[in-house]
Amino acid sequence: MLGWTLLASFALTTAAVAQSTSSFAINPPAAAAPPDDGQWAMPAKNYASTRYSELAEITEDNVKNLQVAFTFSTGVNKGQEAAPLVVGNTMYIVTPFPNILYALDLTKPGAPMKWKFEPNPEPAAQGVACCDVVNRGAAFFEGRIYFNTLDGHTIAVDAATGKPVWNTHIGNINIGETITMAPLVVKGKVLVGNSGGEMGVRGWIKALDAGDGHVVWTAYNTGPDAEVLIGPDFKPHYDMDKGKDLGVTSWPPDAWKIGGGNVWGWISYDPDLNLIFHGTGNPGPWNPDLRPGDNKWTAGIFARDPDTGAAKWFYQWTPHDLHDYDGINEQVLLDMTWQGKPRKVLVRPERNGYVYLLDRTTGEVLSAVPFGPVNSSTGVDLKTGRLIVNPDKKTGTGKVVRDICPTASGLKDWQPSAFSPKTGLLYIPHNNLCMDEEGVDVNYIAGTPYVGMNVRMIPGPGGNRGAFTAWDVAAAKPAWSLKENFPVWSGAVATAGNVVFYGTMEGWFKAVSARTGELLWQFKTSSGIIGQPITYRGPDGHQYVAILSGVGGWAGAIVSGDLDPRDATAALGFVNVMKDLKDVTTPGGTLYVFRLP
Amino acid sequence: MNRCLPCLLSAMLVLAACQREERETRPQSALGSGDQPAAVTALEPGGQRPTSSDNKAGVFEANAFHLSEGKRLFNWFNCSGCHANGGGGMGPALMDQKWLYGSSIESIHATIRDGRPNGMPSFRDTIPDDQIWELAAFVRALSGNAPSSAAPGRDDDMMPHPSENRLPDAATLGKSP
């Protein structure tokens, strides 16, 4: 019940005050966040994943004057989760299925299309994508755009001409495998992971050679150590993660082969430590009675050597997950003083409801504090590293457990946060939802869902289904929090002008003060927003802000998939809490770009 | 003759009820035997041709046992994983009045047997033909297209919506739900 108490104090802090300007200095490591060049070449802005821009032409004072510079229809009526990229004088956007890649010429009035590339993915892939047919963005590296298609291809396209350079098929839709994540290019390797945690797909991450697309290494997240790339370098911090072949022994026989642990979220990279960090998705099926054990290495985080894939450490956010708490959220790499000592940390607002601060050299948990209502667990034991599960909220076959917070979609899902070194605050877009769950038996049939859980979601305490919370990283507590009617399913971007942008599922694109959360400006776009805002310096030297509008994703599937709100369990239970979304927005993908007059 | 009109009437009632109650408890186990064509469009250049109904349609459509078997199989073969309990998810809603590939039991049977291009798998080699008919009959019940006397009357699991025998005919709901 701890979580509930916390929540009570929470609601009171809304938007009121600010940030003590203590003597903290929290900064991303310089090697992972080089000085801003005004471009936006990867969805997370930099390897540290700060989503922070040093551009400061748009400020708290003048943001109210923002106007539309140009718009562009993506021609796709599904959820637009991608971040636009800007490199040189060109903007690149990748759409949801059918994953069209557009290049827009920023030097000309209205930013006309330079070229488009249509990969023509297999239409059948749409049937095996768990939660709308989204794509979370592309990445630029040395003259090429890299992106993934829903039907399991990674493609390199020449950034200047739009001509394909290579195309590697790495996912198999016939076992339910799709790709929705944005790749990250590190040291000439394109890092890609699969989706399919709801289809019994065994999770992996691969490194493809950026030059010719061949697979350099593959690391699975379940199974024998040799396939997980666990070797002599593997030094997990906690005893619970030590032992031989835990990816096999922490499962019933053979269950690891269809056990999930997918990599459909975010990857960060620390060049100094030569480590990449990536989360792993939920174990499958959702019904925990069907997979007794800790289910390694699902719902956790790996640090790996980008050259070989070799695992360095692992930490499991949610051992033996009971509620679909995928561990794939973004990790922001920061250097800070923690309890008097300089530490290399990563901060992670996690699906299970806690903001974690980890030592990124070892995987040690420095702190874990809930950032909203949590009753499925009561805390994290910092000695053992283990999440303390609330037995009252344990799910299983044949019983209905009510009012579990957070939901399967988590206190926060994939929607990435942003960190401003100017305020020391992490801006977290998130949900405020609870759910009822009933475990049921399920047959594994390759290429069909493997879930075994009936779910019905409801609004969380207070009734606001979403929130935008500024988290004081040094103090490990919220500075302020804004309530939103619908889940905040969009990402955030923070700027040196002390303005933070995010979007709502009604379609409002909002600018708030980075210090106080005060609403400074808003613009109503044509559809609900679930995309990732970015900001860049245009060819004219001025600062622009861009966002893709177009509702969908798991939360918006009721609109983008035209689902029937009379079925409480539709879209894995999400529809029950989004019944009114059809009354306020319609589908339609459009790019909006803003600037000062 | 006609000495007992009530007798005759009740005999007819019993016969009608028999249709509802008939139990073919051992469906043919042969896979994919039905191969009759089912049109996906009403457009027919040269004028509409008479539609032929599959004789299995009548056997399965209004029969309580087959409908309840269909409901069980809908979970068993993971239809519910993609279509939830009719409201949809990875696949479209099946309880509304919108049909991409036709609402007749023959069309739905063909959908399940052959699959559809945008992600509906073909269950031809997974589900015996008679069970496909049972599933097709149940799918129609989700949009209120089965007699309420035969449609399943209860949910054994967490209630997603009123039981199928109380679901309204989606076509008469008037507006999109």
Q: What residues are paired with B108 via a beta bridge?
A: none
- B81 — contact with chain A (CB < 8 Å)? yes
Mutate which of B158, B161, B164, B169 to test chain A, going by most A C-beta atoms within 10 A?
B158
Mutate which of A78, A128, A399, A566 to test chain B, going by most B C-beta atoms within 10 A?
A566
pLDDT of residue A120: 98
Q: What is the ipTM of this complex?
A: 0.94
Asked, for residue B59, whether it belongs to a domain, the answer is yes
- Mean per-residue pLDDT for B87-101? 97
Q: In this structure, how many other beta carbons lie within 10 angstroms of the beta carbon of residue A380?
A: 21
CB A171 within 8 A of CB A154: no
CB A590 within 8 A of CB A74: yes
d(CA A93, CA A74): 8
Question: Average pLDDT of chain B?
Answer: 84
**Considering only A327-341, A421-435, A544-558, B20-34, which range has the smallest mean pLDDT?**
B20-34
Give B169's pLDDT tier (boundaries 50, 70, 90).
confident
- B119 — contact with chain A (CB < 8 Å)? yes
Domains, chain A, in order of start with CATH, read: 5-595 (2.140.10.10)
Domain with B140, as residue range(s), is 53-169
pLDDT of residue A237: 98
pLDDT tens figures, B105-149: 999 999 999 999 999 999 999 999 999 999 999 999 999 999 999
Asked, for residue B100, whether it belongs to a domain, the answer is yes
H or E element in which residue A494 lies? strand A493-495
Asked, for residue B11, whether it belongs to a domain, the answer is no
How many domains, in total, are found in chain B? Answer: 1
pLDDT tens figures, A422-453: 999 999 999 999 999 999 999 999 999 999 99
From A61's Cα to the closest Cα of chain B, the distance in A is 44
- Mean per-residue pLDDT for A378-404? 97
Asked, for residue B58, whether it belongs to a domain, the answer is yes
H or E element in which residue A389 lies? strand A387-389
H or E element in which residue A537 lies? strand A534-537
Pairing of strands A85-87, A90-94: antiparallel
pLDDT at B37 over 50: yes
H or E element in which residue A503 lies? strand A499-503
The two tokens of residue A373 are 């209502």
Q: In this structure, how many other beta carbons lie within 10 angstroms of the beta carbon of residue A589?
A: 27
Instruction: Give one word for A459, left, alpha or beta, with left for phi > 0 and alpha for psi -120 to 50.
Output: beta
pLDDT tens figures, A134-193: 999 999 999 999 999 999 999 999 999 999 999 999 999 999 999 999 999 999 999 999
d(CA A454, CA A113): 45
Question: Average pLDDT of chain A?
Answer: 96
From B119's Cα to the closest Cα of chain A, the distance in A is 4
pLDDT of residue A2: 41
Q: In this structure, how many other beta carbons lie within 10 angstroms of the beta carbon of residue A35?
A: 6
From A411's Cα to the closest Cα of chain B, the distance in A is 21
Quote the distance between the C-alpha of residue B156 and its chain's center. Answer: 20
Structural Rg of chain B based on CA atoms: 17
Name the catalytic one among A60, A81, A177, A198.
A198
Q: In this structure, how many other beta carbons lie within 10 angstroms of the beta carbon of residue A137?
A: 26
From B35's Cα to the closest Cα of chain A, the distance in A is 22
Q: Which residue of chain B is at minimal alpha-carbon distance from A150?
A: B119
Query: Which of A129, A131, A567 lies nearest to residue B160, judging by beta carbons?
Result: A567
Give which of A237, A239, A311, A307 is closest to A280, Cα–Cα.
A311
From B72's Cα to the closest Cα of chain A, the distance in A is 12
CB A492 within 8 A of CB A417: yes
pLDDT at A490 over 90: yes
The two tokens of residue A199 are 């289809």
The interaxial angle of helices B105-114 and B129-142, nearest 10 deg, is: 120
pLDDT at B156 over 90: no
d(CA A476, CA A446): 43
A126 with B119: Cβ contact below 8 A:
yes
- B85 — contact with chain A (CB < 8 Å)? yes
pLDDT at A396 over 70: yes
Asked, for residue B126, whether it belongs to a domain, the answer is yes
Residue with tokens 């971040």: A83
Give which of A84, A190, A32, A55 is closest to A592, Cα–Cα.
A84
- Residue A287 falls in the annotated catalytic set: no
Asked, for residue B9, whether it belongs to a domain, the answer is no
H or E element in which residue A354 lies? strand A354-359
The two tokens of residue A208 are 């493809």
- B77 — contact with chain A (CB < 8 Å)? yes
The dihedrals phi and psi of A473, each to the nearest 5 degrees, come to -65, -40
pLDDT at A54 over 70: yes
Does residue A520 sit in helix, strand or coil? strand
CB A530 within 8 A of CB A551: yes
d(CA A49, CA A59): 22
Q: Which residue of chain B is at minimal alpha-carbon distance from A131?
A: B90
Asked, for residue B64, whether it belongs to a domain, the answer is yes
Give which of A394, A392, A381, A314 is closest to A354, Cα–Cα.
A381
Give B92's pLDDT tier (boundaries 50, 70, 90).
very high
Name the catalytic one among A148, A282, A329, A432.
A282
d(CA A593, CA A86): 12
Indicate the residue type of A12: L
What percent of chain A is predicted at pLDDT more than 70? 96
Helix, strand, coil % in chain B, rounded to nearest 5: 40, 0, 55
Give A340's pLDDT tier (boundaries 50, 70, 90).
very high
pLDDT tens figures, A25-35: 999 999 999 99
d(CA B105, CA B119): 20
Helix, strand, coil % in chain A, rounded to nearest 5: 10, 35, 55
CB A449 within 8 A of CB A195: no
- Residue A324 falls in the annotated catalytic set: yes
- Mean per-residue pLDDT for A531-552? 98
Asked, for residue B69, whether it belongs to a domain, the answer is yes
The domain that holds B137 is classified in CATH as: 1.10.760.10
A448 with B78: Cβ contact below 8 A:
yes
H or E element in which residue A347 lies? strand A341-349
d(CA A370, CA A373): 7
Name the catalytic one among A294, A324, A350, A436.
A324
- A126 — contact with chain B (CB < 8 Å)? yes
